[in-house]
Amino acid sequence: MGEVLSREALAAVCTRVKKAGKRVVFTNGCFDILHRGHVDYLTKAKALGDLLVVGVNGDDSVRRLKGPNRPVVNQDDRAAVLAALAAVDYVSLFDEDTPFELIRAIVPDVLVKGADWSVEAIVGKDVVEAAGGTVQTLEFLPNRSTSSIIQKIIQAAAPHPHER
């Protein structure tokens, strides 16, 4: 089982494991309602190195990015669920809108985002590449997203015309 760490503690762990010759992979996101697409993506990311670190947007950051009704699941619960996944070694919350400061603190060997991002637009690319690392994108499983799950819940909860 993985562990939720502060930025400082995570930086120390990453320094230690990199000195031992292991490759640190980093990805990030909101991970509001965990679904199969997330698990598939994180499993693929883990395969790119020895240690998978997941940066998770804190609640205030999610609200700024996704709107006032998000997140559905609070940051501590999202971090704990992610840390319990087999593919995830460490989780760290960040309050900024981007994970740049977290990436700068840990300097991963591999920086990963979904294929909906162009490599040039990935935050932290400059930091990782300057240290000799690589930046990659991964395809998502189709038709799987937190937004679509939320829409299904809203539709299911709406009163049907014959129920009024």
- Residue pLDDT, tens place only, 31-53: 998 999 999 999 999 999 999 99
Element (H, E) at 59: helix 59-66
Looking at residue 142, its amino acid is P
| CA–CA separation, 164 and 160 (whole Å) | 7
The pLDDT of residue 103: 98
pLDDT digit string (tens) for 7-37? 999 999 999 999 999 999 999 999 998 999 9
**Could you tell me which residues are beta bridge partners of residue 138?**
114
Biggest distance spanned by C-alpha atoms of the chain: 65
134 pLDDT more than 60:
yes
Beta bridge pairs of residue 19: none
pLDDT in tens, 95-108: 999 999 999 999 99
Q: What is the CATH number of the domain that holds 85?
A: 3.40.50.620
CB atoms within 10 A of CB 92: 26
> Rounded to an integer, what distance in angstroms lies between the CA atom of residue 19 and that of residue 12?
11
pLDDT at 116: 87
Domain count across the chain: 1
Expressed as residue numbers, the domain containing 141 is 3-163
